Amino acid sequence: MKQQLMEYSAAVRTGQESCPDHVVEEKFADSAAKDLEKDLEEVKVSLENKTLALQRIQVMVALRNKMKQNDNDSRLIMETTKHIVTLSKTIIDYQQQVREKEQKLIDIKRKRLSLKKAGGQKLLQIHTMMKKQKEEQAGMNVSTTLEKMRDNFQKERHITTIIQNVFQNIIIGSRVNWAEDPYLKAIVLQLEKNVCFL
């Protein structure tokens, strides 16, 4: 294959120097060279994989032969192998537990997401209900507020009338000539006005 690749490359180079009109042949030669390089890489990878597999088989055969000898080394190999098997089983158990925990975590996340969506919907319903209640209360509160304001106004008017009468009686009872003092005269005339008719 290497030889063919070199031949094609040499042909391509000589084709470029001697025949500039053969662009199509050049492209064909380039693609053929690339295909050969790709095939060469695949063969290399395949050879490496087969070599590794052969080495593994050779190691296994050597281990089996050594274990048949039944000496200290074979016992050590056997113990190590048992320990490796035990560790492998433990790893598999832990991996299974991890998968189960991950599945539980996924289930919890799903439940949490569904609860979050349901909570959002309930919150929206509560918000809508509160808004309706506020609108209803606002309508009721306006009439209640107007009624309270009217009652307060009546009370204030009644208190103001009483205060006016008290001030008038104080000024009259003091026997001061209020008509001569312009300040007192303005106060007395102001007190004469009836608050009920304002």
Using one digit for the tens of pLDDT, what is the confidence trace for 17-40?
Answer: 444 445 556 677 778 888 888 888
Over pLDDT 70: what percentage of the chain? 88
Q: Which residues contact 39 (CB under 8 A, 6 or more apart)?
A: 1
Question: Mean pLDDT score of the chain, rounded to an integer?
Answer: 81
DSSP-derived letter for residue 197 is G
Asked if 33 and 12 count as a contact pair (C-beta separation under 8 A), the reply is: yes
Asked if 1 and 32 count as a contact pair (C-beta separation under 8 A), the reply is: no
Q: Domain locations in the chain?
A: 1-68
Find the mean pLDDT for residues 129-136: 86
Compute the distance between CA of residue 148 and CA of residue 161 in angstroms, rounded to an integer.
20
Total-model pTM: 0.35
Compute the distance between CA of residue 94 and CA of residue 104 in angstroms, rounded to an integer.
15
Mean pLDDT lowest among 7-21, 75-89, 181-195: 7-21
Determine the pLDDT at residue 197: 52
Asked if 197 and 157 count as a contact pair (C-beta separation under 8 A), the reply is: no
